[in-house]
Amino acid sequence: MSVTRRVVLAGSTLALANPFGDKVLAQGTSTMSNASSQAPGFYRYKVGDIEVTAINDGFAKRPLEGFVKNAELSQVQDAMKEAFLSPEALSITFTTLVLNRNGRLTLIDTGNGDLGAPTSGTWMANFRAAGFDPAQVDTVVISHFHGDHINGLRLKDGTAVFPKAEVMVPATEWAFWMEDARMNQAPEAMKGGFQNVRRVFAPIAKDVKRYEADKEVVPGLTAIAIPGHTPGHTSFMLSSGGGKLIVMSDVTNHPALFVRNPDWSAVFDMDADLARLSRHRMLDLAASERAQVAFYHAPFPATGYIGKEGGRFRFVPVQWSAAVL
């Protein structure tokens, strides 16, 4: 299957600039602004000498219908029931990471900014509640160019959110999305994705640093090329002292669906076959190493482990700890 054909298929199912924008269910925000709100959505844990802070950016609700390309709705509903989730709609959550290494701050991905579903966009409040300031951020590492990962870099009005930060992106992802010829040949439904990448990156194009796979992006953080979800989709291995964290990015969408059923393909996977191979490879790695993992779309705090029994994977969330361990 050619890249173009893949793109057409992906583009026909969603607008990639904001994959959640079109299909978000009607969702009041009144509960979000009540006096009775949740505690701020951040959670800290240690990976060796690096303190990781997971920052939640809210959620977007999607109907299940049409979400998994190669499974019957009833099968998807059964998987939701097994996880005690609603068989009607999926709450897809967004959780980015802050790495604090001796006071140097690196973000991995940035959330929806002010361009996501009305129930998202809580990233900045949670980031500040965790004691951080966007002006302190030294580096922003981007895993791939979907809107829910990059839109936090730049507000709708054009403002750069992290004025001091060096922005680092996968070289392969940059080459794919920034090629004008490819954008011009893309179907209408796909053009928004290309345009959004330009909206975010064009003003800083000369300063964006393109990183290669299998190299350290920042100290302790090594990029893993794991394409399929997008052409340059990247996971990371974070290592420090004896600690290790596999940052999965979008190797799976919601674990209840795609860790349990790694052969299923979400509509967001641009090359479903390649994404499936990548998913098996990363889940096998995590299970065999018993390494801690972080998933962008796992329920907050979006970190845990991958078990494998009887040939099936399962995601085991960490036990919440009052102490930062």
Q: Which residues bind a copy of itself (CB under 8 A)?
A: 31-32, 34-44, 51, 56, 58-59, 82-85, 91, 93, 100, 119, 122, 129-131, 290, 299-301, 304-305, 307, 316-325
Return the number of the residue (174 or 315) whose C-beta is nearest a copy of itself: 315
CA distance 21 to 38: 24
Q: Angle at Cα 152 formed by Cα 146 and Cα 157, nearest 5°?
A: 110
CA distance 60 to 75: 22
Query: Whole-number minimum distance, CB 310 to a copy of itself, in Å?
Result: 10
Measured from the Cβ of residue 287, the count of other Cβ atoms closer than 10 Å reads 18
Q: What backbone torsions phi and psi does residue 107 show, to the nearest 5 degrees?
A: -95, 145
CA distance 173 to 211: 10
Return the number of the residue (100 or 252) whose C-beta is nearest a copy of itself: 100
CA distances from 94 to 157, 219, 249, 271 (A): 22, 25, 10, 22
CA distance 143 to 249: 7
Distance of CA 183 to the CA centre of its chain: 23
Query: Whole-number minimum distance, CB 41 to a copy of itself, in Å?
Result: 6
Return the number of the residue (133 or 273) whose C-beta is nearest a copy of itself: 133
Return the number of the residue (10 or 298) whose C-beta is nearest a copy of itself: 298
Residue in 276, 274, 266, 278 with CA at minimum distance from that of residue 6: 274
For tokens 């499936």, the residue is 276
Query: Whole-number minimum distance, CB 30 to a copy of itself, in Å?
Result: 9
Return the number of the residue (85 or 237) whose C-beta is nearest a copy of itself: 85
Return the number of the residue (100 or 234) whose C-beta is nearest a copy of itself: 100
Return the number of the residue (130 or 277) whose C-beta is nearest a copy of itself: 130
Asked if 108 and 127 touch (Cβ cutoff 8 Å), the reply is no
CA distance 266 to 273: 11
Return the number of the residue (181 or 322) whose C-beta is nearest a copy of itself: 322
Query: Whole-number minimum distance, CB 48 to a copy of itself, in Å?
Result: 15
DSSP result, 212-233: PTTSEEETTEEEEE--SSSTT-
Query: Whole-number minimum distance, CB 306 to a copy of itself, in Å?
Result: 9
Query: Whole-number minimum distance, CB 160 to a copy of itself, in Å?
Result: 26
Query: Whole-number minimum distance, CB 313 to a copy of itself, in Å?
Result: 13
CA distance 108 to 125: 17
Query: Whole-number minimum distance, CB 191 to a copy of itself, in Å?
Result: 31
